[in-house]
């Protein structure tokens, strides 16, 4: 048992009248003790549910991210545009077909580097995770070593950090999600964390408005930026078509601008494509990448067009939508996927020959 951790647990778990938020340094210490398993399972479970009930404050989130930076993996910088980090819930999607992977391929095809991160099926939602989409698209990104992730990002503009392989310390906290039956504070960290060592632009998807406020204040405390927040589909970075997209844009001068995007104003109003089964979702994603017309392609154009504009590929959202449509229909995105398949396969062959 860790006496240090016990004292921190008492501070956050002593009830609504006497509990107190941790300082940034205390939160970093608590997170390190959990990630290194110096705290016992009973202590870790108690802390996660107590913190879930209390709700973390930005100073605590900043400290927890400090610990992630200290113990977690880091992909080195590449000498190009700022890398966009798409922060989506690790527990995936269960109601609608995601287009996050298509957005990443689209940005990469247009010369905008993108780094994503995630894991396997995760409690409590157990939704379709990004890694299963990549596997269906012929990309064994879970098998790459960290230096290969960096090489792939440098060569193709796209990288994916797989938590079970690249951050096993954080993976040890996954079973607690099932055992406590709730998303713990680390689920919020996953939306904000950047495993990139250079200049980056972080996109934080969210469901509940307080998450956006927490993200903004946490990023300010840590000197991170620029930041984009998206009240996305199921908390992801995907822009909705069935409602107004509520977006926060941090400007170069540090100010924050609210952007309300009405899909009907751009001709993209519609319903989200329902996730009826994993096979149906995976086939629809592959079809959209191949340029086959359909509602999911329209969703991919709507979401991808916004990100092309936000990442500086064009000077208006209308131009971004036109770029996204042209890239999908012309086969540019499919060609980027084929290049990635060849690169990943080559990395796997080289690793097998070395071993």
Please state, in angstroms and rounded to a whole number, the distance separating the CA atoms of residues 152 and 278: 27
The CATH architecture to which 83-335 belongs is: 3-Layer(aba) Sandwich (3.40)
pLDDT, residue 95, reads 98
At residue 114, what are phi and psi to the nearest 5 degrees?
-135, 135
Counts of helices then strands in the chain (DSSP H, E): 16, 7
pLDDT category of residue 348 using cuts at 50, 70 and 90: confident
Instruction: Encode pLDDT of 168-205 as tens digits.
Output: 999 999 999 999 999 999 999 999 999 999 999 999 99
Instruction: Encode pLDDT of 95-147 as tens digits.
Output: 999 999 999 999 999 999 999 999 999 999 999 999 999 999 999 999 999 99
Radius of gyration of the chain (CA): 20
Please state, in angstroms and rounded to a whole number, the distance separating the CA atoms of residues 146 and 44: 28
Mean pLDDT of 336-353: 86
pLDDT category of residue 14 using cuts at 50, 70 and 90: confident
Mean pLDDT of 22-36: 98
Instruction: Encode pLDDT of 198-238 as tens digits.
Output: 999 999 999 999 999 999 999 999 999 899 999 999 999 99
Residue 21 has pLDDT above 60, yes or no: yes
Residue ranges of the chain that CATH labels 3.40.1030.10: 83-335
Mean pLDDT of 235-246: 98
pLDDT, residue 351, reads 55
Instruction: Encode pLDDT of 307-331 as tens digits.
Output: 999 999 999 999 999 999 999 999 9
Spell out the CATH class of 3-71: mainly alpha
Residue 161 has pLDDT above 50, yes or no: yes
Task: Return mean pLDDT, the chain.
Answer: 95
Residue ranges of the chain that CATH labels 1.20.970.10: 3-71
Residue 352 has pLDDT above 70, yes or no: no
Please state, in angstroms and rounded to a whole number, the distance separating the CA atoms of residues 329 and 325: 6
Instruction: Spell out where the chain has E strands.
Output: 83-87, 114-118, 158-162, 200-205, 227-230, 245-250, 256-261
Q: Of 232, 234, 270, 292, which is closest to residue 96 (Cα–Cα)?
A: 234
Residue 17 has pLDDT above 80, yes or no: no
Mean pLDDT of 18-46: 96
Residue 355 has pLDDT above 50, yes or no: no
Which range has the worst mean pLDDT, 68-77, 279-288, 332-341, 343-352?
A: 343-352
pLDDT, residue 350, reads 64
Helix (H, G, I), strand (E, B) or coil at 3: helix
Mean pLDDT of 240-257: 93
Q: Enter the tokens of residue 61.
A: 């989130």
């Amino acid at each position: 048992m860790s006496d240090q951790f016990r004292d921190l647990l008492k501070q956050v778990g002593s009830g609504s009248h006497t509990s107190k938020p941790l300082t940034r340094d205390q939160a970093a210490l608590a997170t390190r003790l959990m990630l290194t398993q110096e705290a016992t399972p009973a202590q870790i479970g108690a802390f996660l549910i107590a913190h879930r009930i209390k709700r973390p404050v930005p100073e605590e989130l900043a400290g927890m991210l400090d610990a992630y930076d200290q113990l977690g993996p880091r992909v080195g910088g590449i000498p190009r545009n700022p890398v966009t980090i798409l922060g989506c819930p690790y527990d995936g999607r269960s109601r609608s077909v995601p287009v996050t992977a298509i957005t990443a391929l689209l940005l990469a095809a247009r010369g905008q580097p993108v780094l994503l991160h995630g894991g396997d099926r995760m409690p409590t939602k157990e939704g379709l995770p990004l890694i299963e989409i990549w596997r269906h698209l012929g990309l064994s990104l879970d098998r790459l070593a960290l230096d290969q992730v960096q090489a792939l990002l440098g060569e193709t503009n796209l990288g994916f950090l797989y938590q079970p392989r690249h951050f096993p310390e954080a993976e040890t906290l996954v079973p607690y999600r099932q055992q406590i039956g709730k998303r713990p504070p680390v689920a919020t960290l996953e939306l904000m964390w950047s495993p990139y060592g250079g200049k980056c632009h972080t996109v934080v998807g969210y469901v509940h408005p307080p998450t956006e406020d927490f993200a903004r204040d946490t990023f300010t405390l840590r000197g991170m930026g620029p930041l984009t927040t998206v009240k996305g589909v199921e908390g992801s970075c995907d822009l909705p078509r069935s409602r107004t997209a509520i977006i926060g844009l941090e400007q170069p001068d540090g100010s924050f601008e609210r952007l309300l995007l009405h899909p009907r104003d751009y001709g993209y109003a519609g319903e989200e494509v329902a996730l009826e089964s994993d096979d149906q979702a995976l086939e629809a994603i592959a079809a959209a990448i191949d340029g086959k017309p359909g509602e999911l392609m329209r969703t991919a154009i709507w979401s991808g067009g916004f990100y092309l504009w936000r990442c500086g590929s064009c000077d208006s959202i209308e131009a971004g939508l036109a770029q996204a449509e042209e890239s999908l229909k012309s086969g540019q995105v499919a060609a980027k996927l084929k290049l990635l398949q060849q690169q990943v396969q080559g990395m796997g062959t080289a690793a097998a020959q070395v071993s």
